[in-house]
């Protein structure tokens, strides 16, 4: 049995792709853990998969709605960096 770790953004489109993949891997006897921000946890657990939170201090519960809000980039530059795939934080 292999332990798979799936990483994906918490947006619905990404989760609707990765969760069925994880379920199929689990059905085949593998252990599957989704790594994601806290907003991903309810759907992941409901799908019967394990969940491990990442980025809890930068992306607390409820952060997903801000990730796709253009005004968030102005109010908090960290959101902009995340959206654009920049792997450094603005101090």
Sorting pLDDT into bands at 50, 70 and 90, what band is 83? very low
Domain that holds residue 59: 3-83
Is the predicted pLDDT of residue 73 greater than 60, yes or no? no
Average pLDDT over residues 46-58: 92
Q: Is 91 a member of any domain?
A: no
Q: Is 88 a member of any domain?
A: no
CA 63 vs CA 7, 25, 59, 80, 86: distances in Å: 17, 28, 5, 13, 17
Structure tokens at 6: 């799936």
CATH number of the domain to which 30 belongs: 3.40.50.2000
Q: Is 74 a member of any domain?
A: yes
Torsion angles phi and psi, residue 29, rounded to 5: 100, 5
Number of domains in the chain: 1
Q: What is the pLDDT of residue 82?
A: 52
């Amino acid at each position: 049995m292999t332990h798979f770790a799936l990483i994906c953004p918490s947006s619905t489109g990404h989760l609707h792709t990765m969760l069925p993949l994880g379920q199929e891997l689990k059905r085949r006897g593998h252990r599957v853990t989704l790594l994601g921000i806290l907003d991903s946890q309810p759907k992941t657990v409901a799908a019967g998969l394990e969940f491990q939170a990442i980025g809890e201090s930068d992306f607390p519960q409820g952060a997903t709605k801000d990730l796709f809000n253009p005004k968030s980039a102005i109010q908090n530059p960290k959101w902009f960096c995340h959206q654009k795939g920049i792997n450094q934080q603005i101090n």
